[in-house]
């Protein structure tokens, strides 16, 4: 996972996004992205060998306007963060590309 994050950072995905109930937030830039304001460009899924709590997805996310690139790291499965169905749908549909 560290290699994926380093690669994305080298390609300009420097924002650190956090999953909230209805949006993604980048606190340093005080940026809020609602589902209609971003697209998932790439995603990487990592599975823990022995511990399901180690399952994670790394999303490379860009704003629709193209002025922001960031990364969202989130657990999946039983340990996934709570988010609105609209936000989860956006991540899951675009995650499968």
pTM over 0.85: no
48-81 pLDDT, tens digit each: 665 656 688 899 999 999 899 999 998 765 445 6
- Please answer whether residues 70 and 15 qualify as being in contact, where contact means their C-beta atoms are separated by less than 8 angstroms: yes
Tally the residues of the chain: 97
The H or E element that residue 32 is part of is: strand 31-33
If 0-12 CB within 10 Å is exposed, 13-18 middle and 19+ buried, where does residue 93 land? Answer: exposed
For the chain, give every domain's residue range: 2-95
88 versus 56: which is more confidently predicted?
56
């Amino acid at each position: 996972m560290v290699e994926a994050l380093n690669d994305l950072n080298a390609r300009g995905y420097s924002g650190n996004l956090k999953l909230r109930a209805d949006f993604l937030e980048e606190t340093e830039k005080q940026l809020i992205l609602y589902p209609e304001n971003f697209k998932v460009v790439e995603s990487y899924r990592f599975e823990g060998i022995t511990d399901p709590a180690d399952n994670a997805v790394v999303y490379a996310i860009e704003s629709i306007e193209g002025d922001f690139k960031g990364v969202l790291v989130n657990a999946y499965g039983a340990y996934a963060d709570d988010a609105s169905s609209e936000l989860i749908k956006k991540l899951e549909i675009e995650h499968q590309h």
